Every structure is written in structure tokens, then in C-alpha cells.
Amino acid sequence: MGRPVADQDRASQRLLDHLSKHLDVIEPDGKILVAISGGTDSTALLLALNRLAQKGKISQQIEAAHFNHQLRGDASDGDEAFCRELCASLSVQLHVGRDENSSGPSAKTATEAASRDLRYHFLADLALKYGFSCIATAHTQDDQAETVLLAMTRGAGLRGIGAMPVIETRNDLPGNLSVFRPLLDVTREDTSAFCEALGVTPREDESNSDVAFARNRIRHKVLPELREINPQVVEALSRLSQAARSDIELIESAASNALYEARIDEPNALSRSKLKALNPTLRAHVLIGAYRQAAGTLDDLASGHIESMVTAAGSEDTGSLNLPNAVQMVAEHNAVRFLVSWQDPTCPYPESVNETVLPILKTVKLQGGGVLSARIVWPAPDPATLTRFQAIISPDVVDDQKLAVRARHKGDRFHPFGMETEMKLQDFLVNQHVPERWRDRIPLLVTSRGICWVVGERIAEWAKVPEGASEAVLLEYVPPTESAPASG
């Protein structure tokens, strides 16, 4: 038996009122792409936006998108067919995507996160291709409450409790996708009543009842118990989320200023001394902000990661942390850096060093990038006039007019120029404050006697040009960003 007509009307008007009050955050003449699954909430959102458009209450152009994950066989195809029929009845353009790599209902390894990522990348690609100003999703007040409870179980702190905002820019997606959630003040009961009032029966996804998923356990087991304590628990959790978001906005404003002050003139790099001077709580938010700028998102960044970042940045030790979304935080003597996918635009060395031979009077291009050359010069230049990536050595130490080029090996030893004895190459690199992530990328020029030049750092004591020598071997290295094609 359906709801009384009066109740349907009240729910319908409540949904339309809440939806209307959020539309001012969208460009007046923009295009909205509505993500629809065929379920009650997204169906209600599309119906409501279409009704407002028909009444001339909104000027934005409305289109829809459905992604078929093909994980539920005929049921997934039924969802797609429903979306096609619904959009056709509303004269709304529908864009459909499919996961062509899915193996259907047997794909049990598919995760909620992986499916969400596929769906959002599909939506982002559409937004870029067709110029949509935002993607509208049908997250409701109930979704917000579930998200808050999930965040609390992970110990996510204020930021996690702040949950989902009405409008959010996703920097981790192509085109910095704007996600619009206009139904966060609306309950599932309201969306269901709205569909019922319009005589539309949405699809039911049986997986939403599977309590193997954490969100479903919250929905079907935890929230009903909490309603026994407070029948308005969903609204209460929503208010908690809004209060937390207001607090975090104030904190982020202070953290943004501190982040700006801590920057050094390199990508994603912060002054370690300035970080240490900050209150640990503010330092945490500064590091979170730096991480977000590198990763484009805070997804999967847990409290344990944040504690590790704060500890590493505030200590005297050097080292690195592997963080979610392929980000690495590197703590050096003077700086803290956030590197994405192991990329380091500040590193002057090749990505890898292949073992090769460098003949005198020749130039070689390293496989991982960068160029090395060696030639005889006379008279020998003054070492003080050389750049960091130039060095001179005695021709007498070169084997058969050629040098070997390689990366470091375990147990390598080196006799640095100006020192009385040799030492472990590792110790030399540490003493030179060479970042750990660079050490395997430094080309070494080697003779039968050992390492004669650690490129960019120092020659060997035994390889120096004797005083009064008439000639020398000039070694030069050109970093990958500056190197030209090899010749000779």
C-alpha cells in the first residue's frame, strides 16, 4: 500500500525545495550531467531536476549518464534498460558506459572502491568531452550519516566526520571534476515518496542488502539500533557532519597560510625547519594539505598515515613513507617532499643507469636519460671554473681510452678527493646529503681501479690531475631535461 497523497506531496515539495536552494552554486548557463544508476535516489534526482527545468526554475541543460559495471548479469542490463526508457520518456540525453573488462556476476574480486573509480573516470571523461560544468550525484542525508559512522569507525577525525560537501572539486580526476550533491538535506524516504508520487518504480539492487559490505552493515544493522536511542539520528549525524565541516574549514584556512609560508622554491616541497616550528596539530593539517596537492584527493589517507607524516617531519631522521594514491613523502635534512608515482622533477639524474662504456672523444646517451661525454683537453682547466656536472681526471687512470658507466653496487667503496682514505660509497652519499631516492640513479664512472667520478659530487683522490700536467680528461654530464640527442 502506497503513502497517502498528502504525504507524497509534502515529500515531493520538500525534495524540490532542498534541491532548489543548492542550485545557485552551479553556473547559471552550465550543463549538469546527472549520474543515474536506476535506483530510487538517482531516479528521484533526475526526475526533480527535469521537473524544475520544465517549470523554468533552472536554466542549466540537463543530461544523464549510466555506467553498466556488468557485475550482476541480467540485472545490470535491466538497470541500463530502465535508465534508457526513463531518459527517453523525459527527452533527456543519456550517455552509457560499460566495463568491458568485467567477467560478469562471477567477478567477485571487484571492490566497491574499484567500481567507484571506474564510474567516476567515465563521468569525468564525459564532462571533459561535452563541457559539463558539474556531475550531479544523488547522495542523500542517509548516505551522509552512513559515511560519518564509517569514518568514525576508522578514527578519521574531524575531516572524516565532515564527510561529503554539497560541491567538491576532485583534483584526482581528469579536468578537476566538480561533483554536485544537492540531495544531502533529503532522506531516502523523501526520494522514495517523490518517485511514488510521479508513478515511477525504480530498480532495486539486491547487493544493497548484502551485509558483507561495511556500508550495508551500517545501514541495516547499526542505524536501526541507533534509531531506538534517537529516532532522528540521521538528522543528528548530518548536523554533526556540518559542524565538523565548519570547524575544519577554519582550521584549513590557518593551515593554508602555514603551508604557503613553509614552501620552498621546488614542486611539492616544504621547509623542514618551518614544519618543526609549527604546533603538531597545525603541522598535521599542513602536511595533509601538501599531500592533497600531490595526490589530488584525500581518499584512503587514514589517521595512521597522518601520524607517521607528523612524526617523520618533526624528527631529525631522514627517510621516506609510502602513502596512498602512489604518493611518497620523503624527509630530507632540510626539506620534506611529496612525490607522485616515484616521479621527482627535482632529480637531475636519469630514472635508471644502464651499464655501458664511455670511450674518450665520444658521447653516450644513458638509457634512463641524460648524456655523458669524455674528451682530452689541454691545458688542464682550473677545477674552480668547472660546474657541478663537470670534472677533470688524469688521462693516466683511464683504461684503454674508455671508462665504464654504471649505477652503484652493494658494498661499493670510494676514495673521495681531498680525503686520506677510502670509505663506503653509501657513507659518502649520506655525508653529502644526497637524497636517498637519488642514490641508485647517480651515474658512476669507473676504471679498473674503482670509482673515479661520482657524477655531480666528487672525483676520486687517486684520479686527480697531477700538478703541472699539460692535459686532462674533461668529463661532462647533461641532465635529462637539458640533454640533446647523443652523437658520435
Each residue of 41-52: pLDDT tens digit?
Answer: 999 999 999 999
Instruction: Identify the bridge partners of residue 31 per DSSP, sorted by sequence position.
Output: 61
550531467: which residue's cell? 33
Q: What is the Cβ-side half-sphere exposure of residue 123, based on CA atoms within 13 angstroms?
A: 31
Least confident of 253-257, 368-372, 444-448: 368-372
Closest by CA position to 336, among listed 359, 361, 317, 354: 317
At a CB cut-off of 8 Å and minimum separation 6, what does 413 contact?
Answer: 422, 423, 424, 425, 450, 451
Helix axes 188-197, 5-22, angle to 10 degrees: 120
Report pLDDT digits (tens) over 168-215.
Answer: 888 777 777 899 999 999 999 999 999 999 999 999 988 788 888 888
pLDDT tens for each residue of 219-236: 999 999 999 999 999 999
Domain boundaries, the chain: 5-237, 263-340, 356-478
Q: By mean pLDDT, which of 2-6, 145-149, 330-334 is the weakest? A: 2-6
5-237 CATH, one of 1.20.1250.20, 3.30.420.40, 3.40.50.1010, 3.40.50.620: 3.40.50.620
| 65 dihedral zone (left: phi>0; alpha: psi -120 to 50; beta) | beta
Contact between residue 474 and residue 390 where contact means Cβ atoms under 8 Å apart = yes
Q: Report pTM.
A: 0.62
The mean pLDDT value for 13-25 works out to 82
Average pLDDT across the chain, whole number: 88
Average pLDDT of the segment spanning 1-29: 72
Sequence-ordered list of residues with C-beta below 8 angstroms from that of 49, at least 6 positions apart, any chain: 19, 32, 34, 58, 62, 136
pLDDT band at 35 (very low <50, low <70, confident <90, very high): very high
3-class state of residue 95 by DSSP: strand
Contact 474, 374 (CB under 8 A): yes
Enclosing H/E stretch for 194: helix 188-197
Q: What is the crossing angle of helices 280-295 and 233-262, to 10°?
A: 90
* Torsion-angle region of 268 (φ positive above 0: left; ψ -120 to 50: alpha; else: beta): left
pLDDT in tens, 340-350: 755 666 788 98
* CATH number for the domain running over 263-340: 3.30.465.60
The residue among 263, 445, 443 whose CA lies nearest residue 360 is 445
Q: What span, in angstroms and rounded, lies between the C-alpha atoms of 486 and 197?
A: 73
Cis peptide before 379 (omega within 30 of 0): yes
- Element (DSSP H or E) covering residue 141: helix 141-153
What the block records as the C-alpha cell of 393 is 681526471
- The C-alpha cell at 147 is 559515511
**Long-range own/partner contacts, residues 84-88 (CB < 8 A, 24 or more apart):** 86/36, 86/38, 86/43, 86/46, 86/200, 87/36, 87/46
